[in-house]
Each structure stands twice: as structure tokens, then as C-alpha cells.
Amino acid sequence: MTSFRKYIDNTTAHGVVRIFSGKSVIRRLFWLVIVLGATVGCLNNIIDRIIYLAGGPTATTLSLERQVNLTFPAVTVCNLNQYRKDVVDAIHPELSEHLRGVFYTDPEDVDETLTCSYVLSSISERANLTDLTLTDLSYMARDPIEYFITACYFSGRRCSHSDFTTVLTDSGYCYTFNSYKREPSLITATNTGGKAGLSVALNINQSQYVSSSSFDAGVKVVVHTQNEPPRPESTGVGVPPGSNAFIGIRQRSIIDNTQRQCIDANINSYNNFTFLTDDYSIGACDYDCLLIRVAEECNCTYIPPQNNNFPTLPSCTLSDICCVVQQQRSNIDCGCKATCSTTDYEVYNSYSAFPAMYAEEDFEELFQTTLDAKSNLLSVNVYFETLNVEMQTTSNAYGAVALLSDIGGQLGLFLGVSVISIMEFGTWIVDEVKNRLFGDKFKERKLCGYCKTSKTDGEEHKLPQENKLPDEYVEDKC
């Protein structure tokens, strides 16, 4: 009890002192209630701050960085017609009609999907097309680039068909300008506006339409980074025939410094199919998820993967197309996370008529009537609206240092406790533990230390009054 009294008399926690040093019982009880109430309030606020920290609060800062030039994005253009009618009719006269119905099959209607698969299986068997894969069909029935892309310019200079890469997407074969295959010599933009970007004139050739994802005619234009696979079924800008689309883009960099809800873009073990590059991206993850679903639900592989995780499965054939389309249209969350450092593009589009009246005569060589030009031709302009890059940086808004500061503030506000007070309490606890464990032995060692020191120094060492022992006890022990 003596050591506790000593701690109370010397502690810097003033509220505790008043509980044990009050002049009356009533005053001591009053201070006890005050200290207990302050302790409850302090603990409540500290718990609130701990819960807030566990919630992972973040703060996002926005800034603009001016660049002299920017890498031009990959631009993928896809005709909404996936299969040319003349090619499909050459394969089988009935195939065109049934392919048109495939894309309007209700993905929730199992019977309808089975009927669709049965009809196409019958056609493929009767026409000896059982070995015709969907990949081969898509390639044979694609729009040849020399007919689809009629003109191309970048920054006022003519570009050629060799500047485009043929790529298989969930909407069939498309053509990508400035794709990843151009690395490390990707095209850069040094100015803004339509004349400093990509301009392409396209011929969709509606007379060869067999099927599309809807009753629409035109193209889908997808602006994406080089390591992101194009997904025209879910992203992109639709452009109808007889129009000129102005697609202005602004580059945005999103950086997540919290490292909580993102994935390192350099991991290459996640992508089972490695569709484009070894770098992870949310688009590649979604596409891999689709291919895996096709493999599991349709028992075939739609796109021959580089890293084949299903080596025993055959390639999807004509009889599997209904199942493949059903998986493409199914809404399944793949749980794909964004990368910790992401580049994307904000798109702003507007339209004008194309071609102009004075230019209609220029297309008479390609089309028999003006109506043909209006129904088949369109133009797309993709350009940077600004060379400023918008930086979005997400960081932790509340960390361990802030928590310690808040805890210290609460302790000081409610209890008048500081680090020194906590150390005083800790020292008292350590002393009490040693006394309880070692008892008189600890006191004897301490007393002998005083004896030895006094003999060495030639001076008498006097112990504090509260620790003083009888002289005969000291002489006997030392």
C-alpha cells in the first residue's frame, strides 16, 4: 500500500490524485464520478477513431499535368455486322437465316437456346461443317480491310492498312489502329484537334448484313490503351452510316496508393489466356473470365489461348455458337479489380452529316446512287482535346500516426494523461510485479547494493526513510 500511495502522490495524472487526496469522502466521490465519466467519454472517442481507421478512409486529389506529347491510344473499329452474307450463303444457303436468329435468342430461355443449338447442329452435319470452328468462320466472313477502311489519315498524313491490326473480339473480327504490336514505336500526338488525330472513312456495306447485336447498322469505335483488349459489346461509341463522328479524348491517370482494392499491373500469372500482353488489366481479366465461362459451360474453347488451361477441349464449332453468344450476353460479376496505376480516356463525341452534298459526286465511282453512300459510308475522327493529363491520386486519409495523435488528444482532454503519466503507471506496475515475485530477496539485493557502494565510496549510504530497515538486519545481511 505504501508504494501505491507513493505513486498517487507523484503521478502527473491529476484526476487520479484528487480521488485519493480529497479532504472529504464526498469530494473524493465527486472526483471519482468525474474521472469515470471522463474515462468513458475518452474510450468512446478512441473506439470511434479505431473503427474509422479500420474502415480504410481515403482521399482523392486531382491535378493536371501538361505534356509536350502523348502516346496516341489504340483505336478499334468494328462493323456491327459480324458475318458477311455472301460468305455465309456460300457456306450453306440456310445458314444466313439461322445465324440472324442466334443474336436474338433469349439467354434466360434454356429451351430456346437448346433449339437454336439443335438447328445449327443439324445444318453443320448435313453440310459437313462439323469441323468448321467459330474462329475460322469469323475470319472468313469478316469485312476485308481493303473494303471496310476506304481512307485513313493521321495528323494530315495518309496512313495505310498496314497500320491496322486484325483482332478477334466478342463482336467478331475488328481492326485496331496503333495496337500493342507497334511497340516500342507507338504513334504519338503532338497537337490537339481533329486535324492532329486519326481520321478514317469506313464502308459498312449494309447489303451484306446478316446479323448484329441489334437491329442497328454502323460501327462501334473503342478507344483503349494498348494493353487493354477491346470489348465492343460492352464499351465504345456507336457511329451510324451517313454521319461523321468527332470523338474527342482526354487522358486520365488513376493512381491508387492505398494498395487495398487494386492489383499490380505487372503480374502475369492471373491471365489464363494472355489475350494481348502479359500485363494485367481489368479488360483482360473480364475477357479471360468470358473465355473460361465458355470453356466450362459450352465445353469448348472460343479463342485458341496461348496458355491453354483446357487442352482436352475442342475449339468451338458452329453447333456451339448459341451457347457462346449466351455466355457473351450473360451478366456475371467476375470480381476483376482495377490496377493500382491505370490509364484510361474520357470520351466526348458529337456528329455531323457525311458526306456533304458537294462531295456526293466523289463517291459515284464506289456507289451507284447517293442513297447507297448515305446508307453505307461514315467517317470517324479521334483526337486529343487537350494534352493535359488529369491525375487522380487516391491515398489513405487516416493512418496510424493520425490515430495516435487522436488518442493522445482524447487522453489529454478528458483525463489529463500524457506519455509521462503512462510511463509512471508502467513503472509502478513493474515495481509491484518484482516485489510480488521476489519479495525480500529483491530488497536484500537492493540493500546489499547500498552497502557495497558505501564501502567503495567510503561514505555512509542512507536509505530512504520508507525503505529503512533495522541496523541489525542490515549488518546481518551485508
**Same structural domain, 22 and 73:** no
**Same structural domain, 173 and 280:** yes
Q: Band of the pLDDT at 107, cuts 50, 70, 90?
A: low
**CA-to-CA distance for 96 and 102, rounded, in angstroms?**
10
**Same structural domain, 369 and 469:** no
**Same structural domain, 284 and 242:** yes
**Same structural domain, 278 and 213:** yes
Cell of 381: 475522327
Contact predicate 166/145, CB 8 Å? yes
**Same structural domain, 476 and 344:** no
Query: pLDDT digit string (tens) for 247-265?
Result: 999 999 988 888 777 776 6
What is the count of structural domains for the chain? Answer: 3
Positive/negative CA dihedral, 255, 258, 262, 263: positive
Tell me the pTM. Answer: 0.74
Query: pLDDT digit string (tens) for 234-251?
Result: 889 999 999 999 999 999
Contact predicate 375/241, CB 8 Å? yes
In this prediction, residue 276 carries a pLDDT of 46
The CATH number for 103's domain is 2.60.470.10
Query: pLDDT digit string (tens) for 335-382?
Result: 787 788 888 899 999 999 888 777 766 666 666 666 678 888 999 999
Residue with cell 491529476: 14
In this prediction, residue 177 carries a pLDDT of 96
Task: Give strand pairing partners of 118.
Answer: none
- 446 exposure class (CB count in 10 Å sphere: 0-12, 13-18, 19+): exposed
**Same structural domain, 18 and 69:** no
**Same structural domain, 156 and 260:** yes
- The 3-class SS string of 132-181 reads CEHHHHHHHCCCCHHHHEEEEEECCEECCHHHEEEEEEECEEEEEECCHH
Lowest mean pLDDT among 201-210, 270-279, 355-364: 270-279
**Same structural domain, 338 and 191:** yes
Q: What is the DSSP letter of 241?
A: T
**CA-to-CA distance for 138 and 91, rounded, in angstroms?**
12
Q: Which domain holds residue 24?
A: 1-57+398-438
Using DSSP bridges, classify how beta strands 243-256 and 262-263 pair: parallel, antiparallel or unpaired. Answer: unpaired
**CA-to-CA distance for 368 and 211, rounded, in angstroms?**
24
**Same structural domain, 223 and 103:** yes
In this prediction, residue 245 carries a pLDDT of 95
- The closest alpha carbon to 316, from 142, 116, 131, 166, belongs to 131
The CATH number for 52's domain is 1.10.287.770
Residue 127: count of CB within 10 angstroms of its CB: 15
Residue 419, pLDDT above cutoff 50: yes
Of 331, 363, 395, the position where a domain reaches its end is: 395
Query: pLDDT digit string (tens) for 426-456?
Result: 887 887 787 778 765 555 555 555 555 554 4
- 447 exposure class (CB count in 10 Å sphere: 0-12, 13-18, 19+): buried
**Same structural domain, 184 and 286:** yes
- The closest alpha carbon to 155, from 182, 193, 201, belongs to 193
Query: pLDDT digit string (tens) for 145-164?
Result: 999 999 999 998 999 999 99
Residue 125: C-alpha distances to residues 138, 303, 323 (Å): 19, 22, 18
Q: What is the DSSP letter of 447?
A: H
**Same structural domain, 165 and 277:** yes
Contact predicate 290/428, CB 8 Å? no
**CA-to-CA distance for 195 and 211, rounded, in angstroms?**
35
